[in-house]
Chains A and B, each alone.
Chain A
Amino acid sequence: MASPGPDFASAYEDHVWQVYGFFAYRVGSRELAEDLTQLTFERGWRAWGRYDPLRAQVSTWLLTIARNLLIDHYRSSGAAWTMEPLHDTAEQHLPTAELTPSLGVTPEMARALATLDLRAREIVALRYGGDLTGPEIAEITGLSLANVQQILSRSLRQMRLHLGDGDEQEDPAGEGQTADPVA
């Protein structure tokens, strides 16, 4: 394995808040967000020799690791709860943790986020917690950019209804036709 050297240290300094922010919008406690952030950088450190800057931004690369780690985490929790074989556990059916005020998210925001399906919440977390761009999210998730933007708009619209200042009906005309967020 190539030595991480100072470059990985820079990657850590520059992107740790994005990785943490992503987890903070997906898990229920600071401790878990912290644990998963540490594990992400641990995996990243071990794989740093294989990182190719020509193929991906560091932030995208790290958040891909973070995302996979979270899926693994949910799958292991899900397997323990449901006793289903891992390959039979669809991502949409994986358990999701409630956000708690201790994580810095207001109860109102936590409730609004809880109304989103897992895919939508992931996109929101990557966009506003991980601070990734639409194309970067599309690259990580394998969705088209148009689909990512559509999911974001629909998610924000749905959240707005639960944030107290929304005056629209849920699932406005046309949105329901693109309800399946999985490309």
Chain B
Amino acid sequence: MHDHDDLPDELRDVADRLRREATRPTAMELDHLKLRAMHSARSHAHGRKGTFMKSRLATILTIVGLTIGAGGTFAIAGGGGSDGGSAAKTQYKPGKGCGDQNHPPSHPSPECK
């Protein structure tokens, strides 16, 4: 479209006036707008990065938690077995041979005191 849009002569002055009075941002407003746009863009970028970091952090914490949890479970399961044996062996290993206190063995073990 040309400057005067092929308008009739009597309308060109109105068109010119509309162009003249069209509000344009001042230099200060342009700077302000630019700063706001940059700030907004940065916020969005950080927001995305933050979300990404949060999800990564959550994943890492979950893995660490599971690992610690599983390790803890294993540790508890194996707890008390200072000899490194299994819980079954700890609980159900043969006795010390002390036997019934009312019928002392002929050769008492040093542990039977």
Interface size of A by CB at 8 A reads 40
Name the one of B7, B15, B29, B41 contacting A42, with C-beta atoms under 8 angstroms: B41
Give Cα A17–Cα B33 distance, bound, in whole angstroms.
11
B18 within 8 Å of A (CB atoms): yes
B104 CB → nearest A CB, Å: 85
Q: Are A134 and B24 in contact (CB under 8 A)?
A: no
Residues B11 and A157 in contact, CB atoms below 8 Å apart: yes
- CB contacts (< 8 Å) of B111 on chain A: these are none
Is A124 a contact partner of B33 (Cβ separation < 8 A)? no
Instruction: Annotate A10-47 by CB proximity to B: 1 below 8 A, 0 otherwise.
Output: 00100011001100110000100110011001100110
> A152 to chain B: which residues have CB within 8 Å?
5, 7
B5 touching A21, Cβ below 8 Å: no
Taking a contact as CB atoms under 8 Å apart, the answer to whether B1 and A33 are in contact is no
Q: A133-B1, A153-B11 are contacts. A20–B24 as well, Cβ < 8 Å?
A: yes
Residue contact A109 to B17, C-beta cutoff 8 Å: yes
Is A106 positioned at the interface, with any CB of B under 8 Å from its CB?
A: yes
B13 and A165 within 8 A (CB): yes
Q: Is the CB of B37 within 8 A of A21?
A: no
Partner of B23, one of A25, A134, A157, A163: A25
Also in contact, A38 and B36, with CB within 8 A (given A109-B21, A149-B5): yes
Q: CB distance B37 to A160 under 8 Å?
A: no
When distances are taken between beta carbons in the complex, the residues of chain B under 8 Å from A131 are 22
User: A135 near B: Cβ within 8 Å?
Assistant: yes
A134 to B2 alpha-carbon distance, docked (Å): 9
- Are B8 and A153 in touch, CB under 8 angstroms? yes
- Whether the pair A24, B23 counts as a contact (CB closer than 8 A) is yes
B 49-91 contacts with A by CB, 8 A: none
Interface residue range, chain B: 20 to 34
Bound-state Cα–Cα, A34 to B23, Å: 11
A21 to B19, CA, bound (A): 10
Within 8 A of B (CB), among A80-131: 103-106, 109, 124, 127-129, 131
Determine whether the beta carbon of B30 is less than 8 Å from that of A128. Answer: no
| Shortest Cβ gap from B59 to chain A (Å) | 22
Chain A's nearest CB lies how many Å from the CB of B22?
5
Chain B residues with CB below 8 A from A70, complex form: none
What's the nearest-Cβ distance from chain B to residue A164, in Å? Answer: 11
Q: Which residue of A lies closest to B25 (CB)?
A: A20
Are B10 and A160 in contact (CB-based, < 8 A)? yes
A38 and B25 in contact (CB under 8 A), knowing A128-B19, A160-B14, A163-B14? no
Task: Give, as a whole number of angstroms, the nearest-CB distance from A145 to chain B.
Answer: 9
Q: Cβ of A134 and Cβ of B1 under 8 Å apart?
A: yes
Q: Nearest Cβ in chain B — how far from A62, in angstroms?
A: 13
B19: chain A residues within 8 A (beta carbon): 128
